[in-house]
């Protein structure tokens, strides 16, 4: 998440927001999108990059701790974009406002960004 990618287009935060919005519009609801992320995270193989983070993410989804697009966006950012040594708490503190703003700019309704969108 370098300074130049941040200045010119939002970097990884924008990529995650665009990806989630595209999937939301294609799949139709939050439950379908979160299921796709669960399958992706849980299918990662031991020894691959960010395996431990992906298993943590899959467990959080299974326990229904991820309830909306803000949560899911931060989780995706944590698993695939955050350097080792940073935890999910740091990602939440640092990027929750930005991911929410970018999700809204990409057409996700505020209800699905902030409220419990699980059905």
Question: Could you tell me how many residues make up the chain?
Answer: 119
Q: What is the largest CA-CA distance in the chain?
A: 39
Q: What is the pLDDT of residues 23-63, one digit of tens each?
A: 999 999 999 999 999 999 999 999 988 999 999 999 999 99
**What are the two backbone dihedrals, phi and then psi, of residue 91, each rounded to the nearest 5 degrees?**
-60, -45
| C-alpha–C-alpha distance, residues 74 and 51, integer Å | 17
Question: Is residue 111 classed as helix, strand or coil in its secondary structure?
Answer: helix
pTM of the entire predicted model: 0.90
Q: What is the pLDDT of residues 55-92, one digit of tens each?
A: 999 999 999 999 999 999 999 999 998 888 889 999 99
Structure token digits, residue 27: 């799949």
| C-alpha–C-alpha distance, residues 16 and 98, integer Å | 11
Angle at 115 between CA 64 and CA 97, to 5 degrees: 100
């Amino acid at each position: 998440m370098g300074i130049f990618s941040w200045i010119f287009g939002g970097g990884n935060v924008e990529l995650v927001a665009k990806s989630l919005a595209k999937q939301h519009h294609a799949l139709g609801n939050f439950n379908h999108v979160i299921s796709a992320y669960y399958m992706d995270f849980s299918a990662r193989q031991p020894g691959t990059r960010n395996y431990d983070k992906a298993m943590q993410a899959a467990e959080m989804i299974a326990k229904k701790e991820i309830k909306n697009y803000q949560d899911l966006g931060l989780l995706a950012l944590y698993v695939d974009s955050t350097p080792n040594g940073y935890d999910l708490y740091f990602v939440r503190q640092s990027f929750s406002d930005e991911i929410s703003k970018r999700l809204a700019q990409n057409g996700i309704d505020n209800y699905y960004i902030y409220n419990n969108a699980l059905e």
